[in-house]
Amino acid sequence: MSVGWSRYAFKFGEYYKACKADEMWYPPRLRSREWMFVGFDDRPPERHRGFRKPDELLAHVVRKIPKSCFYSTAYYLDPNQRSMKDKMLQGADLIFDLDGDHLPGVTDGDFPSMISAIQDQAHQLWFDFLEPEFGFDARHLQVTFSGHRGFHLHYRAPDIWDLDSMARRELVSHIKGEGVDVQILLKGPDCAWKRRIISGVDSVLNKLDIASNDNQEGRKALKELKGIIDSRIGSPNCLVKSCGVESLRKISEKVQDVGRRGRLAKGFETGELLPVFGGSLDNKFRELVKGDSAVVLGNAGETDEVVTIDLKRVIRWPSSLHGKSGMKVVEFPLDRLDPHGPNPFDPLLEAVPWRMGEPDVKVKSIKSDVRYRIGTAEGELDEGEEYYVDEATATFLVLKRWADPIV
């Protein structure tokens, strides 16, 4: 471990030593949870740990000083057993993990914009799907910031504990729009996907208008559209097997025709998405609409299954620190989830546990063209340049591997 990394391991230790057991958050049925801890060194994660009391858990964390802390979404009869079979699964929470790194057209390099985009997706997931479509009750919901690039929705109603992986997969498939038929939805009764298809058409048309321009903004819009359609290719019932930038450019040019625009509008009046571009371009437009409207659920780390489906997953512990950002995993009220609401939760301020203000820490950038904001401090980095930043920003930049500390 380098001197720089040792400094941040020490900082994590100071944070946990200052914590009080009765002020931390703990998952319901604590004794039934398995815990996992990832250290700052290269040793394998510590797994298959169970704790009977909160003070036992905190004492273990203070002693080990982990880089990241996780607990199981499942309940086990004996979480200390190493074999999943011997643990004896009793049920599991329903977790929705939304990660900004998986949003098409959004880059981790513009961190503040990515956080805002994924927060908006989390808000839409609850208010467009989970509550109205599935009848989920907010009394059983916990909303958390992951500490890095996303948000987690934890749902703990007793009637979902016994849902198997297949039932959870069907729920995710509906949310992701797998098998969605645009024409049938437009002719059918009001539902979340119909509303999202309608808004998705407007959104895609706006992106295509920008993409039709031969400038930097146009090229950026084309890249975003390419990311959207690439995210759809391979999905069940996807109408497109491949799509290059040139095809998207053709659609962006064709949609500028007033007649085509008018036929699209006329089709909506009768509940149809009329073919107006010709051949395979119409299918590509439909997939753009579905991709632009879909809620993107983050992939489950080292596996290909999403967190929602996998009953044996672990999830970050609210109150703990995220080892790739230095920020806290924070629980906050549902009414603050909307990033455009009257009192939105600001993770880049409220999840920062370190000193902010005085720029007295020197770092050297190892990345270019990346943008950050921590509290009120914001800026862009150029590789090789040195910067004075405050303690909170330095911690974020170093742990994110955007900068090296200068000792």
- What is the average per-residue pLDDT within 130-152? 95
pLDDT score of 295: 63
Between CA 202 and CA 208 the distance in angstroms is 10
Share of the chain above pLDDT 70, in %: 95
Q: Name the least confident of 101-105, 258-262, 309-313, 380-384.
A: 101-105
Distance CA 209, CA 102 (A): 24
Mean pLDDT within 290-309: 59
pLDDT, greater one: 335 or 301: 335
pLDDT (tens digit, 9 = 90+) per residue, 378-398? 999 999 999 999 999 999 999
CATH topology of domain 1-96+140-176+301-333: DNA primase, PRIM domain (3.90.920)
Strand-pair partners of 201: none
Task: Tell me the pLDDT band of 299, cut-offs 50, 70 and 90.
Answer: very low
pLDDT exceeds cutoff 90 at 105: no
Q: Averaged over 252-274, what is the pLDDT?
A: 85
Lowest mean pLDDT across 95-109, 151-165, 317-331, 369-383? 95-109
Decide if pLDDT at 305 tops 60.
no
pLDDT of the residue at 128: 87
Written as six digits, the tokens of 331 are 């629980």
From first CA to last CA, the distance across the chain in angstroms is 15
Q: Is the pLDDT of residue 400 over 90?
A: yes
Lowest-pLDDT range, 36-50, 265-279, 320-334, 372-386?
265-279
Mean pLDDT in the chain?
A: 89
How far is it, in rounded angstroms, from Cα 141 to Cα 93?
10
343: pLDDT strictly greater than 90:
yes
For residue 183, pLDDT beyond 90: no
Pick the residue with more confidence: 303 or 400?
400
Q: Does the pLDDT at position 301 exceed 80?
A: no
Query: What would you measure as the largest C-alpha separation in the chain, in angstroms?
Result: 70
pLDDT value of residue 291? 81
Give the residue with greater pLDDT, 352 vs 220. 352
Whole-angstrom Cα distance, residue 153 to residue 145? Answer: 9
| Mean pLDDT computed over 185-191 | 80
pLDDT greater than 70 at residue 74? yes
Rounded average pLDDT over 69-94: 95
DSSP count for the chain of H helices, then E strands: 13, 15
- Do 391 and 14 form a contact (C-beta atoms < 8 A)? no
pLDDT at 399 over 60: yes
**pLDDT classification of 302: cutoffs 50, 70, 90:** very low
- Sorting pLDDT into bands at 50, 70 and 90, what band is 237? confident
Token digits of residue 168: 């959870």
What pLDDT band is residue 2 in, cutting at 50, 70 and 90? very low
Q: For residues 351, 353, 359 and 360, what is the CA-based torsion angle, rounded to 10 degrees?
A: -160
For residue 213, which of 243, 253, 247 has the smallest C-alpha distance? Answer: 253
pLDDT mean over 193-207: 83
Top-confidence range, 163-172, 180-189, 375-384:
375-384
Does residue 39 have a pLDDT over 50?
A: yes
Please compute the mean of the pLDDT values over residues 204-216 and round it to a whole number: 93
DSSP state string for 327-362: PBPEEE-GGG--TTSSS---HHHHT--S--S---EE
Could you tell me the residue ranges of all domains in the chain?
1-96+140-176+301-333, 182-293, 361-405
